[in-house]
Structure 1
Amino acid sequence: MKLDPGLERKLEQAFRRDYYSKGHKITEPGTLSNKVYFVEKGLVRTYYIKNGKEITHHFFAEDKFTMPIESIFYNGRSPYGIEVLESSIIRSVRFPGLEELIDGSTALEKFIRMLLIDVLKTFSDRLSALQFQSAHERYQTMLEQNPNILLRAPLGHIASYLGITQQTLSVIRAQK
């Protein structure tokens, strides 16, 4: 969906641009944040802690948004942190400021609605994969949806995202 140039300029001005190096944690699990993040360049992951281990929830590369839904919409602490996996340019805006822009523009409201539907579909597909696909099928799906992830993310993060051990991931990769 294409936004009109005036609205694009307003969004450009609303979003702050930050440069992060690999390994930087933008947020930690259990924190409150009302920011919406947009990956302009680079790769980040959302993750949670289970039994003292970091588990990758999702990867976000260029032109993707992420936000702590639990904090923004429910005023609760987010179970997810955000970590930068390669040098990245991340744009951010506080949700109340973005909401003002959304409220003033039918086109932006429609854009956000379509974006949220896309996010919902992504997580629905992920849940379905975890419930109904084998580890090998989940790996194949990941490669189809994000073919360069093996070049950009550490194997440990990929394995935890797939819900398998790093050893199982090595076996699956060797079968190719």
Structure 2
Amino acid sequence: MELTRYINTKIKLSAEERSVIDAAFKREFYSKGTILAEPSNRSQKVHFIEKGMIRTFYNKDGKDITHFFFDENAFTMSLESNYFNKTDPYGREVLEDTTLRTIHFKEFNDLFNNIDVFKGFFFMVSIETLKRFSDKLFSLQFQTAEQRYKSMTDNYSNILLRVPLGHIASYLGITQQTLSVIRAQK
């Protein structure tokens, strides 16, 4: 969904506010497989996904581990770089041809401070994202591999159809072989 239309599903922007936000976020197109940022980056960008999918990932002992998936109508940015002035341990990879709206964090902060309703909107978006991370942490701590996979099929079935199985397995904290066994039982 287009950025300002998505924002208007959560809050009501004036025509002027829509225009300011629309002009501030630049539209960018990326091909499947593009690395937007390597792990240990200091990216100062905020991305909104209008179309496509991105994964965040890190490297551990030479293995590529999927941390999270972001698809349409999601924001992604480096919390470590933008808020804590540290390197971001996560890279970002485009998993399918993707249309992003991108803004530099300083400009994003300006919008945040100058458009009052944008603060409320971003607070709602942050809480929704925090809930998804909380659900993932719960599943990794308290669910079996089968339960994690079932939860993913129940809540994020669109991801299963769009992402390579190796990325799904590492996101779930299991091997690709274990994922194949679980899928075969269904």
Length-normalised TM-score, structure 1: 0.97
Unaligned runs of 5+ residues in structure 1 are none
What residue in structure 2 maps to residue 92 of structure 1? 102
Indicate the SS of the match to 1:78.
coil
Shift of 1:143: 1.3
What residue in structure 1 maps to residue 43 of structure 2? 33
Asked if the contact 1:34/1:68 (under 8 Å) is kept, the reply is: yes
Length-normalised TM-score, structure 2: 0.92
State the AA in 2 paired with 1:3.
K
Aligned mate of 2:20, from 10, 17, 20? 10
Distance (whole Å) between structure 2 residues aligned to residue 163 and residue 34 of structure 1: 29
Asked if the contact 2:47/2:75 (under 8 Å) is kept, the reply is: yes
| Number of residue-to-residue matches in the alignment | 176
What residue in structure 2 maps to residue 59 of structure 1? 69
Indicate the SS of the match to 2:86.
coil
Aligned mate of 2:132, from 122, 125, 135? 122
Over aligned residues, Cα RMSD in angstroms?
0.9
Unaligned runs of 5+ residues in structure 2 are 1-9
Indicate the SS of the match to 1:82.
strand
Shift of 1:119: 1.4
In the TM superposition, what whole-angstrom CA distance separates every residue of 1:78-99 from its partner, at most 9, and x where no partner exists?
A: 0000000111111110111011
Indicate the percent of aligned positions where both proteins have the same amino acid. Answer: 51
Shift of 1:125: 1.1
State the AA in 2 paired with 1:82.
R
In the TM superposition, what whole-angstrom CA distance separates every residue of 1:37-95 from its partner, at most 9, and x where no partner exists?
A: 11110111000000111100001111111111000000100000000011111111011
Question: Which consecutive aligned stretches of 4+ in structure 1 deviate over 2 angstroms post-superposition?
Answer: none
What residue in structure 1 maps to residue 3 of structure 2? none
